[in-house]
Amino acid sequence: MGAGTWYLNATSSGGCSVEGLQSAKCRVPSTNYWYTAGFGGRGLNCSVPGTNAAACWTNAPNTYVLDATCVDDSINGGACVTVPNRYVYSTQYGGRNTDCTSNSAGSCWFTGAKNITEPNLTATNIRTTNTIFGVIGSFAGVDTVWGSGMNHDLNPAINLTMNLETTTYAGTNALPAGYRPIANIDKDTEGAALNVIPQVTKVNRTGWAATTCGTTGVLAARIANCATVFGANATWNGAMNGNAGQLSWNLVSRSGAVGGGGLAGLGEEVWKDSITGLLWSSLVSSGLNWCKSVGNSNSQNADVVLFALNEPDPNSICDQVANQNQIVGVPVISACTEYTGLTTTDSAISNLGKSNLNKALSPSVRWRSPTMYDYMVANQNGLRFVMPDMQSTSQGDEWTATVYSADRALAWTFNGATGQRKIQNRSFLNSTRCIGR
* Mean pLDDT, residues 203-214 taken together: 95
For residue 425, CA distances in Å to 265, 422, 429 come to: 24, 10, 9
Rounded CA-CA distance 399/413 in Å is 5
Q: What is the pLDDT of residues 231-269, one digit of tens each?
A: 999 999 998 999 998 999 999 999 999 988 888 889 999
Smallest Cα–Cα separation from 331: which of 310, 355, 312?
A: 310
Q: What is the largest CA-CA distance in the chain?
A: 105
Q: Three-state SS across 26-61? A: CECCCCCCCCCHHHCCCCCCCCCCCEECCCCCCCCC
Residues 6+ apart with CB under 8 A from 413: 397, 398, 399, 400, 421, 422, 423, 424, 430
> Side by side, which strands form the sheet with 86-88?
80-83, 86-88, 109-110
Residues 6+ apart with CB under 8 A from 257: 208, 209, 210, 268
Q: Out of 177-191, 207-221, 227-241, 411-425, which region has the weakest mean confidence (pLDDT)?
A: 177-191
The whole-model pTM stands at 0.67
Q: Please report which confidence band the pLDDT of residue 157 belongs to, taking 50, 70 and 90 as the band edges.
A: confident
Q: What is the pLDDT of residue 25?
A: 53
Rounded CA-CA distance 94/424 in Å is 71
Q: Please report which confidence band the pLDDT of residue 64 belongs to, taking 50, 70 and 90 as the band edges.
A: very low
Instruction: Report which listed range, 16-20, 142-146, 182-186, 287-291, is most confident.
Output: 287-291
Rounded CA-CA distance 419/167 in Å is 30
Amino acid at 96: R
Name the helix (H) or strand (E) containing 242: none
Residues 411, 403: contact at Cβ < 8 Å?
A: yes
Q: Does residue 184 carry a pLDDT above 70?
A: yes
* Mean pLDDT, residues 29-42 taken together: 37
Q: Does residue 107 carry a pLDDT above 90?
A: no
Residues 237, 248: contact at Cβ < 8 Å?
A: yes
Q: What is the pLDDT of residues 311-330, one digit of tens each?
A: 999 999 999 999 999 888 89
Q: Out of 42-46, 212-216, 264-268, 324-328, which region has the weakest mean confidence (pLDDT)?
A: 42-46
* Mean pLDDT, residues 169-192 taken together: 89
> Average model confidence (pLDDT) for the chain?
77
Rounded CA-CA distance 291/330 in Å is 15
Q: Does residue 79 carry a pLDDT above 60?
A: no
Q: Does residue 356 carry a pLDDT above 50?
A: yes
Instruction: Report which listed range, 286-295, 337-346, 384-393, is most confident.
Output: 286-295
Q: Out of 14-18, 164-168, 234-238, 340-344, which region has the weakest mean confidence (pLDDT)?
A: 14-18
Q: What is the pLDDT of residue 130?
A: 83
Rounded CA-CA distance 182/93 in Å is 73
Q: What is the pLDDT of residue 144?
A: 57
